[in-house]
Chain A
Amino acid sequence: MANAIECFNLTKRFPGCVALNEVSLAIPKGQIIGLLGPNGSGKTTLIKIVNGLLTPTAGEILVEGKHPGVETKKAVSYLPERSYLNDWMSVNEMINFFGDFYSDFNKAKAYDMLQRLNINPKDRLKTMSKGTKEKVQLILVMSREAELYVLDEPIGGVDPAARDYILDTIISNYSENAAMLISTHLITDVEKILDGVVFIDRGSIVLSATVDEIREKENKSVDALFREVFKC
């Protein structure tokens, strides 16, 4: 099976709005795909459906060939756009928590990354700044040897100096067979690690292409194309 995510006419309606409108999409394995679009375009809705946090109104979605459920949750490593950590735990306890629930969690990798970013594993999450919490969360998510990584705004609250290290970490920590879906506004920062992009606007896919195609055909960077497509 070549695709990590497959959507067929996926639709999600909320009272008074259509968040996703008959989206059909395939995210191939072994690629890093940017899910790009303005605020409220449906990025997070799509990501939540992939992770089983929302059920679609119509259409079908397959993650690693299965409908979202316990089995797909074993295979997907998900970074939400907000802090989901238990405040009262220390980083050590959080690492044990991940180790207890995810069999693909690599503790050595997590401790190594914590050391590189000067985070003390004994610190409680309550005492940490928002940016540090985001780093911890990203480290936890990237320390899994998952088949699919779904990162919602992974570097939004992190300082520019740490961004490069984090992007390097993302690239060096994911295996060739794994796929990655990254949603972000910081296109310039992330562009260099992307293989392909999906532009989404008001619940519909407006463009799906590889970064090379965009550079060759349009002779533009992804960032420039984004500004053109979504011009206000």
Chain B
Amino acid sequence: MLGRLMKYEIKATGRIFLPLYGLILAFAGLNRLFMYFNLQKKSDFLPNFVSGISMLVYILLVAAAFVITLVVTVQRFRKNLLGDEGYLSFTLPVAVHSHIDSKMIVSLMWSVLSTVVALLSVAILAIGSGLYREIASGWDSVRDFFSQYGASGWGCVVSIVVLLLAAQLSGILSLYVSVVVGNLSGRHKRLAGFGTFLGIGVIAQVVFFSFANTSGVFQSYHDVPLDSVAQMRALSTDCLILAVFCAAFGVAFYFLTDWMLSRKLNLE
């Protein structure tokens, strides 16, 4: 059933993201063309003006992709589960946690895709600019990096990826738990939800800094020489500790959301 929920989740959100991704890539291509023509001949006012506008639209679209990822994460959860559509969602023969799972996974998918599309659009803009030669030469230094640090270099890359995923997932779950708490409070649902989100942020920071200060786990760099394998190891360890920290909060948010949706649900 998780697969089917995800299929409809992707359908519901894809109709927003796919056209947006299309526009971003199209405007990247358009801007690349303008750059080409501007280089060919001395610019006069009109093409300059048009290319300026087109570049501005491109930048706004990329920014919008990230804002919309956030907005859709919140809106889709609120409308599909806690609005009128909730009457259908919660009478489908699926477990409550499957709703959270499907929404969380699809939201993560769009966050990753938005980043990929943004990078891709930069790559389009950079066609013929010499960036690719730079990347090719940069590749050599990447190889040097891994030959110098070996397994600890890879360990570092993997722990950074793990940290990014854990942070993104716990971020999504903190939005969900805020929406549900907001929905439970009688009036001013949005305000209460926003307050919860801020409160969660403050609590997470306080817990994190008191943990970091008392345990001293993030002090490990200071004792080892820079550019050493030990330094890489220390960095991976710190990333993983942070990832565990995010994951712990994420798990708490997940079970709290699940419990409230199962036991405290009260659709209007």
- List the interface of chain A (C-beta within 8 A of B): 14-15, 48, 51-55, 70-71, 73-74, 76, 78, 80, 82-86, 88, 97, 100-102
Known A88-B12, A97-B8; contact A74-B84, beta-carbon cutoff 8 A: no
Using a Cβ cutoff of 8 Å, how many contacts connect chains A and B?
57
CB of B39 closer than 8 Å to a CB of A:
no
CB of B2 closer than 8 Å to a CB of A:
no
Residues on the A chain within 8 Å of B93, using CB: 70-71, 73-74, 101-102
A101 x B15 contact (CB < 8 A): no
Known A53-B265, A86-B12, A88-B12; contact A76-B91, beta-carbon cutoff 8 A: yes
**Chain A binding surface SS class:** loop
B84 x A52 contact (CB < 8 A): no
CB of B214 closer than 8 Å to a CB of A:
no
Q: Which of B7, B8, B95, B265 contacts A70 (CB 8 A)?
A: B95
Residues on the A chain within 8 Å of B12, using CB: 86, 88
Interface digits, B252-267 against A, CB 8 Å rule (1 contact, 0 not)?
A: 0000000000111111
Residues on the B chain within 8 Å of A48, using CB: 267
CB of B53 closer than 8 Å to a CB of A:
no
Give the total of B residues in contact with A, Cβ under 8 Å. Answer: 24
Interface digits, B1-42 against A, CB 8 Å rule (1 contact, 0 not)?
A: 100100110001001000000000000000000000000000
Find the A residue at minimum CB distance from B265. Answer: A53
Known A53-B90, A76-B91, A101-B94; contact A88-B15, beta-carbon cutoff 8 A: yes
What are 12 A-B contacts with C-beta separation under 8 Å?
A: A15-B186, A53-B265, A54-B265, A55-B264, A70-B93, A73-B92, A74-B93, A78-B91, A80-B87, A85-B85, A97-B8, A100-B8
Interface residues in B212-268 (C-beta closer than 8 Å to A):
262-267
Known A55-B263, A73-B93, A88-B15; contact A101-B87, beta-carbon cutoff 8 A: no
A51 x B91 contact (CB < 8 A): yes
CB of B203 closer than 8 Å to a CB of A:
no
A73 x B4 contact (CB < 8 A): no
